[in-house]
């Protein structure tokens, strides 16, 4: 096999598998994070789901999203909401949006 054909095959393989490398690295990083966490794997996954849903609720409210900077963190089912809003009204609205998960108390 000539060098140019070999180089072409390697180049095509690299281009086609580009996304796989990212997925493998991300999966490995998540595995390392879970390995050093005191929570069970199920608790970590549940917390990620709660964070995603609460952040999505905030994102879907255009007023809150555009006029605030809010972070949602969940640890063992407890939601911590941090950040800043322009008004007290936006703060209350963001807490209402994020507290729609009765299984998770929240702290701000």
Quick one: 53 and 25 in the same domain? Answer: no
Quick one: 23 and 53 in the same domain? Answer: no
Quick one: 17 and 44 in the same domain? Answer: no
Sheet of 106-107: strand order equals: 68-75, 78-85, 106-107
Residue 61 to residue 68: CA distance in whole angstroms: 11
Comparing CA positions, the residue from 94, 87, 92 lying closest to residue 72 is 94
Each residue of 56-92: pLDDT tens digit?
888 888 888 899 898 988 888 888 889 999 999 988 8
The per-residue pLDDT for 101 is 59
Place of tokens 């609460």: 54
Quick one: 60 and 85 in the same domain? Answer: yes
Our count of domains for the chain comes to: 2
- Residue 32 is part of which domain span? 1-36
Question: Six-digit token pair at 44?
Answer: 């970590």
Residue 56 to residue 5: CA distance in whole angstroms: 48
Asked whether the whole model's pTM tops 0.75, one would answer no
């Amino acid at each position: 096999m000539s060098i140019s054909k070999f180089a072409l095959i390697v180049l095509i393989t690299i281009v086609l598998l580009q996304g796989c490398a990212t997925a493998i690295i991300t999966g490995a990083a998540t595995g390392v994070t879970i390995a050093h966490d005191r929570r069970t794997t199920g608790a970590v996954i549940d917390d990620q789901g709660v964070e995603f849903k609460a952040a999505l609720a905030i994102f879907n409210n255009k007023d809150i999203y555009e006029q605030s900077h809010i972070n949602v963190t969940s640890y063992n089912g407890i939601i911590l909401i941090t950040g800043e809003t322009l008004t007290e009204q936006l703060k209350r609205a963001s807490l209402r949006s994020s507290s729609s998960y009765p299984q998770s108390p929240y702290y701000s």
